[in-house]
Amino acid sequence: MIETTLQDQVAIVTGAGQGIGRAIALRLAREGMHIVIADRVPDTASAVAREVEALGRSGLAIPTDVAKADERTRLVSETLQQFQRLDVLVNNAGVQRVALPQDVDEAHWDVVMDVNAKAVFFLCQLVLKHMASVGSGRIINIASIAGKLASTIQHPIYNVSKAAVLAMTKTLAHAYAPQGIRVNAVCPGIIETAMQDQVDREFAHVTGKRPEEIRAERQARIPLGRAGEGDDVAAIVAFLAGPDSRYMTGQALNATGGMVMF
């Protein structure tokens, strides 16, 4: 199937109630897409849905804990019931936990891997069934600089989970290319979000430094000299969702201000 404009196509964006996910939802809406906002917090999901509708697109808020299989299934089934199509999945929902490797316990492993890796794979699996049946679709997985560099030792399982996202992106891209489905990833670096603020505070706790010291040290490693914004990631997602990237699959594009150049 020849890819065309995003106008009136449908996208699910997980973790879309705030931060990068919200920026992605609004950017895709500006591109003409109808957006399903999946988020654990109903009020924030509904607020973003209203923002989408203010842009002249349909916004459907579906409160979703992506770590739960039944809620993933409900998310996809309600989307198809409402719109009778699903063109793009953006797996953005994620969590971070800070600890040194020797302090990681199984509960830490489970919560991070369940949301960041397991949920991504099985939500892809659900969506791919529909996309394969119609012979088209795009999946964009939000990975991280951590998946390429294991960038800090203070969130070791987050590093593992994002490396897993990159591996499944390549595997699914290879498996489903013959059916006209493209699967790519975006690897953000330091992005100004509430989650980043929380990480700085938690890193400060385990290192004994102040949060502002942590942020300054990290930003000093960015060649472009600033932290990114949600819109910087959203622009790459919009490109990967749209027809200008029609000959790309299995790729992991960086949004790091030059921190990673491969």
pLDDT tier at 1, thresholds 50, 70, 90: low
Convert the pLDDT of each residue in 2-30 to its tens digit: 788 999 999 999 999 999 999 999 999 99
Active site residues: 158
Residue 206 main-chain phi, psi, to 5 deg: -85, -15
CA dihedral 208, 210, 213, 215 (to 10 degrees): 100
Which pLDDT belongs to residue 216?
A: 85
Q: What is the DSSP string of 162-200?
A: HHHHHHHHHHHHHHHGGGTEEEEEEEE-SB-SHHHHHHH
For range 231-248, the mean pLDDT: 98
- Enter the tokens of residue 215: 């942020």
126-185 per-position pLDDT tens digit: 999 999 999 999 999 999 999 999 988 989 999 999 999 999 999 999 999 999 999 999
pTM for the structure as a whole? 0.95
* CA 88 – CA 233 distance, rounded (Å): 16
Q: If one looks up domain 10-189+229-254 in CATH, what number appears?
A: 3.40.50.720
Whether 142 and 185 have beta carbons less than 8 Å apart is answered as yes
Alpha-carbon distance 222 to 60, whole Å? 37
Say what the pLDDT of residue 3 is. 85
Interacting residues of 27 by C-beta distance below 8 A, sequence separation 6+: 231, 234, 235, 237, 238
Q: Which helix (H) or strand (E) holds 90?
A: strand 88-91
- Domain spans of the chain? 10-189+229-254, 192-227
pLDDT at 204 over 80: no
Any idea which of 53-62, 203-212, 220-229, 230-239 has the lowest mean pLDDT? 203-212
pLDDT at 260 over 90: yes
Write the DSSP assignment of 203-242 as a string of letters: HHHHHS--HHHHHHHHHTT-TTSS-B-HHHHHHHHHHHHS
- Cβ count near 108 (within 10 Å): 17
State mean pLDDT over 200-209.
79
Mean per-residue pLDDT, 224-242: 97
Distance CA 121, CA 172 (A): 9
- Which amino acid, one-letter code, is at 125? Q
Inform me whether the pLDDT recorded for 257 exceeds 80.
yes
The predicted-structure confidence for 70-129, as pLDDT tens digits, reads as follows: 999 999 999 999 999 999 999 999 999 999 999 999 999 999 999 999 999 999 999 999
